[in-house]
Chain A
Amino acid sequence: DAEITQSPRHKITETGRQVTLACHQTWNHNNMFWYRQDLGHGLRLIHYSYGVQDTNKGEVSDGYSVSRSNTEDLPLTLESAASSQTSVYFCASSYREAGELFFGEGSRLTVL
């Protein structure tokens, strides 16, 4: 079955370290998204991509970057982790404009 997977599911890191969260989907969707979930804020868009070599900034992109070298993967990198980036991160993909998003299971990141 097609799916979207995130790794790691849980990570603890220290302030200032570089962290990469992986996202892999097997639906062959062009559109991929990264959201963070924080209490009281719902889900906020970090970065998104509409296809290979395409990346765009979302609402809360400062301190994050993504790259899209193939259709299946959209890794999210925190260049220098900060405590404010402690959150649950969700990757998602969709196959059409304004279609429903298919979410990964989430990655819980703690920055100490």
Chain B
Amino acid sequence: AQKVTQAQTEISVVEKEDVTLDCVYETRDTTYYLFWYKQPPSGELVFLIRRNSFDEQNEISGRYSWNFQKSTSSFNFTITASQVVDSAVYFCALSLSSNTGKLIFGQGTTLQVKP
């Protein structure tokens, strides 16, 4: 069975702190895709990143970075120098190539960045 676990339900940090959101996934497929989505207080879901299982290179986009480790089945997301606007619910998700686009979501991590 496929599963995504985000063990951190809520995280609270002070602005400018670095924060890492954990994501652990389970699948027996060798080809799969991992995603992160952001859901700000306004409620929409914003796509952040898509990574396939054959590309273990870490990704950096501005203050955001992602660490993909197949050995530990993890796809963690780090925000450097957090800002109040980063406050949101963050979802990690898994898609199998055989599922044609169906995403399996984790439970989400609520990040609160305090000024």
Contact = CB atoms under 8 A, between A and B. Distances in A.
Contacts of A97: 97, 100-101
B47 A102 contact: yes
Contacts of A31: 100-101
Contact of A101 (B99, B101, B106, B108): B101
B103 interface: yes
B33 interface: yes
- Chain A binding surface SS class: strand
Which of B45, B47, B107 has the most CB atoms of chain A within a 10 A radius of its CB? B45
A107 B52 CA distance: 31
Contact of A40 (B45, B95, B107): B107
Interface string A20-44: 0000000000010101000011111
B64 interface: no
Contacts of A33: 101-103
Interface residues of A, number: 26
A44 B43 contact: no
Interface stretch (A11-19, A60-68, A78-86, A88-96): A88-96
B91 A98 contact: no
A9 to B, nearest CB: 10
A105 B44 contact: yes
Interface of A: 31, 33, 35, 40-45, 48, 50, 58, 88, 90, 92, 94, 96-103, 105-106
Given A35-B105, A96-B101, 13 more contacts: A31-B101, A33-B102, A33-B103, A42-B105, A42-B106, A42-B107, A42-B108, A88-B43, A94-B101, A98-B32, A98-B97, A100-B47, A103-B44
